[in-house]
Amino acid sequence: MSIRVSGVNKSFGDFAALTDIDLDLPSGQLTALLGPSGGGKSTLLRIIAGLELGDTGTVEIEGVDATRLPARKRNVGFVFQHYAAFRHMSVADNVGFGLRVRKRPKAEVRARTQEMLELVHLAQFADRLPAQLSGGQRQRMALARALAIEPSVLLLDEPFGALDAKVRKELRDWLRRLHDEVHVTTVFVTHDQEEALEVADRIVVINDGRVEQEGTPDELYDAPAGEFVMGFLGPVTTLAGHLVRPHDLEVETHTFPGAVAGEVARLTRVGFEVRLEVAVPEEPAPVLVTLTRADAARKELAEGTRVWVLPVPGASRVPVAGLAAARR
Amino acid sequence: MADRTPGRVRTVRQPSALRWPLRIAVVVYLVLLVVWPVAIVAVKTFERGTGAVLHALAQPEVVFAFELSAANAVWAVVINTVFGVGISLLLVRYEFPGRRALSALIDLPLSVSPVVVGLALLLVYSGRTGWFGPVLEGLGLQVIYAQPGMIMATAFVSLPLVIREVVPVLHEIGTEQEQAATSLGASPLQTFLRITLPAIRWALLYGVVLTLARSLGEFGAVNVVSGGVAMRTQTATLLVQERYNQFGADSTTAAYAASFVLALLAIVALVVVSSLRPKEHDR
């Protein structure tokens, strides 16, 4: 295990930011800490980096107990959401900073800086100031700066959070390719479930300072441990006391075994997708169903059409605690 | 910083009937209060020709007074730069009980009359009657009526200038760059020298120039603690007062010449400061 966090608690005044966190993050993998804002995931990352101290518990990095090690001795690469670029230094000086404070020979610093700049495709901007770069370029510079010290682990705190949607997407794909090339154990914090599902080898879902579930993206998506994980990883709707994904519902214009009858109350087309709100008499809220445009056209669905819905076999379902109790 | 450059927004204003009267009022006010008196000093200085001025400035007492003023100012700048940066870091980067009180206390030298500052120093450090003075004098260190007391008085009155410039910049740059440096392996000293100091350098320089100007012009507090003995504890401002009160054209010329040099130094400081300002914003 490359990073082992055991029994970590952290409070800020009365607010419990993290409660009994135990986590093993394997070597060489790209792990996402996923959860809503204020859930404690950034605090956990900062505790691993040594930028914050846990109230209790230990942090082990590459088999070394790092709990009492100051941040500068943990050999951790950290990337901040807002880049934390050294404004008064050129891009090359930013990247070489970690090596210069380690008093490495000048030639080595120069060679390594050049290598890193080429890795992040910023070689032609070496002499610019960070202010002359775009947001995406600045974040790539920050990444090169963190990688230059050959860290045992790379930690990224909402690395794409400050970027616009298109750059975000590009950088996300690029991070995945970079990780396949460099293979350094990487942990990144995100509140974007799509980002986590797309990029990460493993996802740790954190909410209210606790680990809700950890596993591969498929495990989490197909077998969510509870309502929170199910709801956070994608759209959900409620049918017969269970949370189910709208695209896991089969809809027909005739009855079939087990199906629940209702009426299409609203039909919205979003690109290739059709979203239905089906009014079912037994349900307090309309049941959401998504299907492809072609499918909807073939079934001649329209607002007011009488339909029957049922989860497809193998659909992930999670019982709704609150609703089930209310029914009893 | 580029992403925060404000766009060019032109405000359309109704021409006001008060516009010209207001402008004239401001100009007249400034002329009566500042420009005219300072101009008179310049005129009076050169009333008897440049030769007399140069002669007055070459007097050993005058040269000594300026050297003493400069030495006091340099010491005050060094002390206030070191402590100013330290206190600024303490105020911005750390939470501790009494932080707000300390912040308010730092403005005290601006609000308290320099004469009171001098008197307070006298009460503590006076060699005979002071609270702490006799002990120091026993150790061979004379504070009052000597240079240490003058430096303390000067440093006291110019204390807030560096801090008030540096604190907002420290707030603005935040802690992320310092944290990034730490995680990259920099020691606290390396982080300070390579990250924090370059980030506050313009504000610090601005504070230093202000401190220098304020220190050179200090009169009240230094007057109380120095004794104003020519060739021993008389600074340029004290010399101006003494010579102005003496009879004789030579004394008057010396007073005006010294005043003129002091005013000139203040103007140079202002020019330096205003040429630093835009750089701070372009950064």
CB contacts of A75 in chain B (<8 Å) are 185
Share of chain B above pLDDT 90, in %: 70
Residues B206-254: pLDDT tens digits?
999 999 999 999 999 999 999 888 899 999 999 999 999 998 888 999 9
Mean pLDDT, range B102-107, rounded to an integer: 91
Query: Model confidence over B107-158: pLDDT tens digits?
Result: 898 889 999 999 999 999 988 888 888 888 888 888 889 999 999 999 999 9
Which pLDDT belongs to residue B9?
Answer: 66
Note the pLDDT tens digit of each residue in A35-77.
Answer: 998 889 999 999 999 999 999 999 999 989 999 999 999 999 9
A51-60 CB burial, b ≥16 within 10 A, e <16: bbebeebebb
Position A322 scores a pLDDT of 59
Nearest C-alpha of chain B: how many angstroms from A262? 53
- CB of B203 within 8 Å of a chain A CB? The answer is no
Q: Using an 8 Å Cβ cutoff, are B151 and B215 in contact? A: no
Is residue A249 a contact partner of residue A308, using CB atoms and an 8 Å limit? no
Interchain CB distance below 8 Å, A86 and B177: yes
B197 in contact with chain A, both atoms CB, cutoff 8 A: no
How high is the mean pLDDT of chain B?
89
pLDDT per position as a tens digit, A249-307: 999 988 888 888 899 999 998 888 999 999 998 888 899 999 999 888 888 888 888 99
Q: Give the rounded percent of residues in chain B with a pLDDT score beyond 70.
A: 93
Contacts of B162 (CB under 8 A, 6+ apart): B80, B81, B84, B85, B88, B204, B207, B208, B210, B211
| Residue A128, both tokens | 């610019």
- Say yes or no for a CB contact (<8 Å) between A85 and B177: yes
Among residues B267, B219, B220, the alpha carbon closest in space to that of B41 is found at B267
Tell me if ipTM is over 0.90. Answer: no
What residues have CB less than 8 Å from B3, skipping those under 6 apart?
A: none
Average pLDDT, chain A: 90
pLDDT, tens digit, for every residue of B72-99?
A: 999 999 999 999 999 999 999 998 999 9
Give the DSSP letter string of B145-188: TSHHHHHHHHHHHTHHHHHHHHHHHHHHH-SHHHHHHHHTT--H
The answer to whether residue B1 scores a pLDDT higher than 50 is no
The pLDDT value recorded for residue A325 is 44
| pTM, entire model | 0.82
Looking at residue B141, its pLDDT comes to 87
Alpha helices in chain A (DSSP H): 41-49, 91-101, 106-119, 135-148, 165-182, 193-199, 217-222, 227-233, 293-298, 321-327
Confirm if A157 and A42 have CB atoms less than 8 A apart.
yes
Joined tokens for residue A206: 């954190």
Token pair belonging to A163: 């970027």
Q: Does A117 touch chain B (CB under 8 A)?
A: no
Which of A252, A273, A272 has the alpha carbon at shortest distance from A264?
A252
Mean pLDDT, range A1-8, rounded to an integer: 88
Contact: A49, B185; criterion CB under 8 Å:
no
Cα separation, A79 vs A41, whole angstroms: 15
Residue B171: pLDDT over 50: yes
Q: Which of B3, B178, B183, B193 to mutate to test the interface with A (most CBs of A within 10 A)?
A: B183
B167-175 average pLDDT score: 93
- Taking only the tens place, the pLDDT of each residue in A135-179 is 999 999 999 999 999 999 999 999 988 888 888 888 898 889 989
Q: Do A97 and B1 touch (CB under 8 A)?
A: no
Burial B232-271 (b: 16+ CB within 10 A, else e): ebbbbbbbbebbeeeeeeeebbbbbbbbbbbbebbeebee
Residue A181's pLDDT band, with cuts at 50, 70 and 90, is: confident
For a pLDDT cut of 90, what percent of chain A falls above it? 62
The more confident residue out of B195 and B279 is: B195
Tell me how close the Cα of A201 comes to any Cα of chain B, in angstroms.
25
